[in-house]
Amino acid sequence: MKQILQSVMIFVLIFAIFPGKSFAATPFVSAASAILMDQDSGRILFEKNANDVRKIASITKIMTAILAIESGKLKDEVKISETAVRTEGSSIYLKPGDHINLKDLVYGLMLRSGNDAANAIAEHVGGSIEGFVFLMNQKAKEIGMVNSHFANPSGLDNSENHFSTAYDMALLTRYAMQNKIYREISGTKSYKGWGNKNRLLTEKYKYCTGGKTGFTKRAKRTLVTTATKDHQNLIAVTLNGPDDWNDHISMFEYGFKNYDTTIVLDKGMIKAIKNKYLKDHVFIENQVLYSLTKNELGSIEVEYKLLKAQKDWKDKGNIPEIVGKAVVYMNKEPIRTVPIFYKYVYEEKKKEWFGFFIQLLTIHMGVKTDG
């Protein structure tokens, strides 16, 4: 019995000293709410009270930034109003009557958390602060931020009707990170003398690629950051996090050690289809990525669900563009569904578009289509 106990103790000590990838501990975070999300797949890798509604302070400005970028007005010169410069809190010290490029205002918004910049952007893009707030809430609905409501473009605690959740802010960040200009601004360490307040980006974590800081007396410290290591992209959010820098590092390290972004369904032709009309003619348009542990790799299955073949499919032109769907399962639970396209129709549509373009070109040049 004594020998068995000694063997068990040795076994435990070995794994304590040399932990394997699948034995990495769940991260400890100080924040009241937190989440770690895989950016590519949207899978939640870690969460703590992620759907609790809380005040969010200046991470609000992620929404303000992406709306400004998507407005198509970044080259506009913005005249600064009295209302904008009277905004309380953090500032980039704008003056009434100044004319500032909208893109520069977005840099001041994201790097220095300028509340004056937030209001100036809102007035220019939305026509008024109220008009911009309407756009913020409209965009939140589009993204699926069901537990969020915005009352201002800066995150100030001047309304009880301004709140979100760690999960919703991760969704917003995932959406924003699809935009190249947002990624560039969010990941900039210094711009025209403005240093980025995100210390995770500037000094504390070499894999950090961007994010936004926040603080008010009621919200406390809030933080959104992104990080990339090898081919894996992660998003971390903390709300009311007294030790948020270390919270984010801890979550990122947990994600990078335990998970890997994996192609669970590749793009291209589907060779498994045997239907005589569809064989060698159907394909997946884009790769399906999902973040997996090593132990989960064997739990992935793919099922192809096709439309019932019709008699008129003998004429290939009658086969629809989408002929079914591919469902990806993990442990028998569906995690992704994507359409299956029919190649013949797909190619013909491109040919039709090209023919239409040539027709327009010949008309423009005065060439008759009948020669």
Catalytic residue (one of 48, 55, 61, 197): 61
List beta partners, residue 269. Answer: 283
Q: What share of the chain is helix, strand, coil (3-state, %, to 5)?
A: 40, 25, 35
How far apart CA 191 and CA 109 sit, in angstroms, is 11
Can you list the alpha helix ranges (DSSP code H) found in 127-190? 129-143, 166-176, 180-186
Catalytic residue (one of 90, 113, 164, 186): 113
Alpha carbon 227 to its chain centroid, in Å, reads 12
Q: What are phi and psi of 5, to 5 degrees?
A: -65, -40
Q: Is 58 a catalytic residue?
A: yes
Catalytic residue (one of 33, 41, 48, 58): 58
Q: Which residues contact 274 (CB under 8 A, 6 or more apart)?
A: none
Number of neighbouring beta carbons within 10 Å of residue 335: 16
Checking DSSP bridges between strand 77-79 and strand 268-269, what pairing results, if any? unpaired
Element holding 8 (H helix, E strand):
helix 2-17
Torsion of CA 223, 229, 233, 235, to 10 degrees: -20
Quick one: which of 92, 126, 88 has its CA closest to 106?
92
Taking phi first (over 0 means left), then psi (-120 to 50 degrees means alpha), and beta for anything else, what does residue 124 get? Answer: alpha
Element holding 222 (H helix, E strand):
strand 220-229
How far apart CA 336 and CA 289 sit, in angstroms, is 9
Residues 241, 246, 248, 251, CA torsion sign? negative
Q: Is 325 a catalytic residue?
A: no
Q: Is 75 a catalytic residue?
A: no
Number of neighbouring beta carbons within 10 Å of residue 245: 19
Active-site residue list: 58, 61, 113
